[in-house]
Amino acid sequence: MAAKPMIFVIEDDLDTQEMIVRFLLAKNYRVKAFANAEEAIETLRNNVLACDVLLTDFMLPKMSGMDLINMLLAEGLRAPIIMMTAHKTAEIAAEATRAGAYDFITKPLRFPQLQISIERAVKLNKIRDENELLKSVVASKEGSGIQGLIGKSPKFLQALDLAKRVASSNASVLITGESGSGKEVIAKAIHQMGKGNKLPFIAINCSAIPENLLESELFGHAKGAFTGAIDKKIGLFEEAQGGTLFLDEIGDLSLPLQAKLLRVIQERKIKRVGENQFRSVDVRIISATHKNFRKEIANKTFREDLFYRLNVIQIQVPPLRERPEDILPLAEFFLKKYISLNNLAPCTLTSEAKEQLLKNPWRGNVRELENTIERAVVLSNGNKISAAEIAQQNSVEDEILNQDSFDDGFYLPKSPILPMEEVVLRYMSFALEHNGGAKDQTARDLGINRKTLYLRLRDNKLMVPNH
């Protein structure tokens, strides 16, 4: 399996260090803690261990956080650095950012805020690595000719052609398609080809953040706006100023947030939570969904007026099963990518493995193909990947398809007997699918509150099934 992100924590207060480490371990990160900067620097210099994110206190025993940042960047550290401090001053935050820190967090720590900051930093690091790899790999690929995109099937090239034509405009774009089909990749391509390509591209998955935090994430908040808001926060609209804001899974926005987003689009102004002041924003909005908006509008779960504001230009990304010409080029790209990222010896796909790839229905689209190749690369014992190694990835899905079902469509395997907790989780997933992803209705049907449902889904990494 692919390694979990490694977080280095430099904190001389051992009680605080222990709390941070326990929190990160509970969130499935790997963690290495240091009581001083010297140990961390030595570890990095000797290549004993690499980190994906470095979280450090501002005040350290023998050097300041600024000195540490300058030293690490001078030695070529590429991992994002997040600074922690008890000094709540804008000057320190600005100084840390100018020195090269990715983010700045005040103490006492708010762990949800810390988690969001680390998740963003991990994603930033991953994007940097992928972009470097794309530059070397995509240059030699047949296909679209656009950096980061691989595909030569007619349907995919048609979607790319529309993306090229709309890129130079400021029109809102709605990208539709099944989950895993590459909607965010198309959104990034539109940004790269647009006139604001040197400005930020900010992406957020609207279904991945709790509703009570999403408004603050989008619009920011004032100090004291709610419990735990110990400092002001700039929202993603302001972060994306002049650039592009990509709203993934826009169909999962609550109706109140839909109304606020509509007003922002109409007036080009945002108001932070807890403030009365309006702030002008110049942001291009690209949104994406796997849902059928006509059905959502008919069910009164999505505002029709917002749909028309978002759907100025619609780009339909075809599922992978409708673009078989792209399967092998994508597989070859992912093969090189994960060989490089895992520092493995080169390996190739056998002709039988390629045939197996072409026969697979790819219900999870490009994301499933990527996961299949990654798993095959990591677990391969030789320089050839066989058809059996490709097929093994799909054996669990085949087992799920070979199931008994109740009359209402809820599936359970024939054997063995499942633990009660697993049955409960599967039924919750089924209920969510049955209600088209509507969490409020699902919670009512199950007789639980929405927060309980969300926490169970989040903690067990359950996703809304595709339609």
195 SS3 class: coil
Do 179 and 254 have their domain in common? yes
Residue 31 in any domain: the answer is yes
Cα 311–Cα 288–Cα 372 angle in degrees, nearest 5: 150
Residue 63 in any domain: the answer is yes
Contact present, 65 and 58 (Cβ < 8 Å): yes
Given its phi and psi angles, is residue 231 left (phi above 0), alpha (psi -120 to 50 degrees) or beta?
Answer: beta
- Alpha-carbon distance of 393 to 213, in angstroms, equals 36
Do 284 and 387 have their domain in common? no
Bridging pattern class, strands 279-280 and 269-270: antiparallel
Q: Whole domain around residue 362: which residue ranges? A: 322-399
What's the total number of domains in the chain?
4
- Alpha-carbon distance of 23 to 224, in angstroms, equals 24
Residue 305 in any domain: the answer is yes
Give the tokens for residue 332. 């070859």
Do 444 and 392 have their domain in common? no
Q: At what angle do helices 37-45 and 65-74 cross, to 10 degrees?
A: 10
In 3D space, the residue among 18, 53, 54 whose CA is nearest the CA of residue 37 turns out to be 54
Do 81 and 204 have their domain in common? no
In 3D space, the residue among 75, 84, 19 whose CA is nearest the CA of residue 43 turns out to be 75
- Alpha-carbon distance of 296 to 94, in angstroms, equals 44
Contact present, 337 and 137 (Cβ < 8 Å): yes
Given its phi and psi angles, is residue 249 left (phi above 0), alpha (psi -120 to 50 degrees) or beta?
Answer: left
Do 146 and 284 have their domain in common? yes
Per-residue pLDDT 10s for the chain (467 aa) are: 345 788 999 998 899 999 999 999 999 899 999 998 888 888 877 765 678 899 988 888 888 778 888 888 777 777 889 988 876 666 776 777 777 788 888 888 889 989 999 998 888 877 776 666 555 444 434 344 455 578 889 999 999 999 999 998 989 999 999 988 999 999 999 998 988 888 999 999 988 887 778 888 899 888 877 776 677 888 899 999 999 999 999 998 999 999 999 999 999 999 888 888 899 999 999 999 999 999 999 999 999 999 999 999 999 999 999 999 999 999 998 998 888 777 777 788 999 999 999 999 998 899 899 989 988 888 887 788 988 888 765 554 555 445 544 445 555 555 455 666 677 777 888 788 777 777 878 887 787 877 778 777 776 655 544 44
Residue 149 in any domain: the answer is yes
Q: What is the pTM of this model?
A: 0.56
Do 218 and 262 have their domain in common? yes
For 42-70, b/e burial (b = at least 16 CB within 10 A) is ebbeeeeeebbbbbbbbebeeeebbebbe
- Alpha-carbon distance of 229 to 273, in angstroms, equals 10
